[in-house]
């Protein structure tokens, strides 16, 4: 329920109106946005955006004050909170095929780590992805991309998960419908340098 002083477009409003509009304020400034129902992502671009947003949100909570402060000046220039700028900037970079960064402006000087060994093993409505890497280069996370077409280009449109840094991971992709799936995996540095993908493509024939 929305509480307003004056008209529906009053400078003092908070809450929801007719289940469609959300009123709120930030730093004393009112704004209105459409209320959106939470839905599970289905389209590839939705999956990619959901994956990167989930990763970035979890990482922000662990950042030091100095890292968060690096986003402050540009955020204030745009009149948005630093956290919102961090999310929107990195999501836009990711969608355009660039790297993501914990710091602003991103240094873009890292040498990415490399995936040394990996596999994709099918099972009933799932595929098990396993990989290892030496840990000699920069890595913030690993990006896992999936397609039903061989020879696809890895990136935002095919991303299904960003996996937090580890030298060895087993990840279960699913449940997914029966079919043949193709996978690419890469390392994502933490300074805006583009991901480094392993040259090999793996396939998994998933059954019902």
Instruction: Tell whether 122 and 203 lie within a shared domain.
Output: yes
Query: What is the predicted pLDDT for the residue at 12?
Result: 47
User: Residue 183's domain spans which residues?
Assistant: 43-208
Taking CB atoms within 8 Å and a gap of at least 24, the contacts of 177-181 are 177/125, 177/206, 177/208, 178/125, 178/206, 178/207, 178/208, 179/148, 179/205, 179/206, 180/148, 180/204, 180/205, 180/206, 181/120, 181/127, 181/146, 181/147, 181/148, 181/205, 181/206
pLDDT of residue 188: 96
Token pair of 146, please? 């999936």
pLDDT in the model for residue 134 = 84
The answer on 165 and 127 residing in a single domain is yes
Tens-digit pLDDT string for the chain (208 aa): 444 444 444 444 455 444 445 656 666 665 555 555 545 556 667 889 999 999 999 999 999 999 999 999 999 999 999 999 999 999 999 999 999 999 999 999 999 999 999 999 999 999 999 999 888 889 999 999 999 999 999 999 999 999 988 888 999 999 999 999 999 999 999 999 999 999 999 999 999 9
CATH of the domain at 63: 2.60.40.10
Same domain as 24, residue 56: no
**Which pLDDT belongs to residue 28?**
63
User: Does residue 164 share a domain with residue 143?
Assistant: yes
């Amino acid at each position: 329920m929305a509480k307003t002083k004056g008209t529906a477009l009053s400078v003092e409003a908070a809450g929801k109106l007719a289940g469609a509009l959300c009123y709120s304020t930030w730093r004393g400034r009112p704004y209105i946005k459409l209320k959106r129902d939470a839905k599970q992502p289905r389209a590839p671009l939705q999956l990619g955006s959901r994956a990167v947003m989930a990763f970035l949100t979890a990482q922000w909570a662990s950042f030091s004050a100095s890292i968060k402060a690096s986003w402050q000046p540009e955020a204030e220039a745009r009149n948005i909170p630093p956290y919102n700028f961090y999310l929107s900037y990195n999501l836009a970079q990711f969608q355009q095929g660039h790297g993501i960064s914990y710091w602003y402006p991103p240094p873009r000087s890292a040498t990415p780590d490399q995936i040394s060994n990996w596999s994709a093993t099918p099972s009933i409505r799932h595929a098990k992805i396993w990989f290892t890497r030496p840990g000699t280069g920069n890595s913030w996370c690993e990006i896992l991309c999936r397609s039903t077409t061989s020879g696809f280009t890895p990136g935002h449109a095919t991303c299904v998960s960003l996996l937090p840094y580890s030298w060895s991971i087993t990840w279960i992709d699913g449940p997914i419908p029966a079919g043949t799936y193709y996978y690419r995996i890469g390392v994502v540095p933490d300074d805006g340098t583009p991901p480094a993908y392993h040259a090999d493509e793996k396939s998994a024939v998933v059954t019902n």
